[in-house]
A and B are shown apart, each in its own frame.
Chain A
């Protein structure tokens, strides 16, 4: 019930294209859904986060779409750039940031020229 399933495992996108990563959760008590970007040898960095009272949140080239009824959320990276090549993790927690994060399995994104 605590799982967050993430797909795809890896993704190759051409420069300028749209990268889409999907996550699904089971625990309806989750109420905070962040996305993290991680470069090799570094800790994860917060990209964008959403709470279940909104269906979409956009920050620059990054957009989260959230479907509460389907228990799914996704990350869209518009105009993907080679510098976006990294591993992306979705996550979820209960009670905002008061409890532990449950991470997805990660998606390795490669943006080609």
Chain B
């Protein structure tokens, strides 16, 4: 089946620093990747959609300068939280898909970010 690897699984950083989260499709080429944010006991909130080789499309209300997304290859997308603040603490999840593909949307295992 399709596997998406997300790294790191958890990270603690100091306020004002930047953190990079990686999302890799291990056994398929993901033309499209999605980044979500999830608060405790809430649903997934889509932050942005990224297509390989093009700029990410951000959802309304998501600061593109704060959440930098790069999808440089068909197997790797990164989310960088810049100048992190405690309110950025959350669970971040990536998802990858191949339009019309057999396995639909495959999700990573998520990254717990804590900003102190």
Contacts and interface: CB of A to CB of B under 8 A. Distances in A.
Interface of A: 32, 34, 36, 41-46, 49, 89, 93, 95-98, 100-101, 103-106, 108
B100 A106 contact: no
A97 B100 contact: yes
A84 B29 CA distance: 31
B32 interface: yes
A103 B43 contact: yes
A63 B97 CA distance: 23
Contacts of B91: 41
Contact of B42 (A44, A96, A97, A106): A106
Interface size class of B (residues with CB under 8 A): 20 to 34
Which among A101, A104, A105 has the highest number of chain B CB atoms within 10 Å?
Answer: A101
Main secondary structure of the interface of A (DSSP, over half): loop
A41 B34 contact: no
A101 B109 CA distance: 17
B32 A42 contact: no
B74 interface: no
B61 interface: no
B37 to A, nearest CB: 12
B22 to A, nearest CB: 14
A75 to B, nearest CB: 15
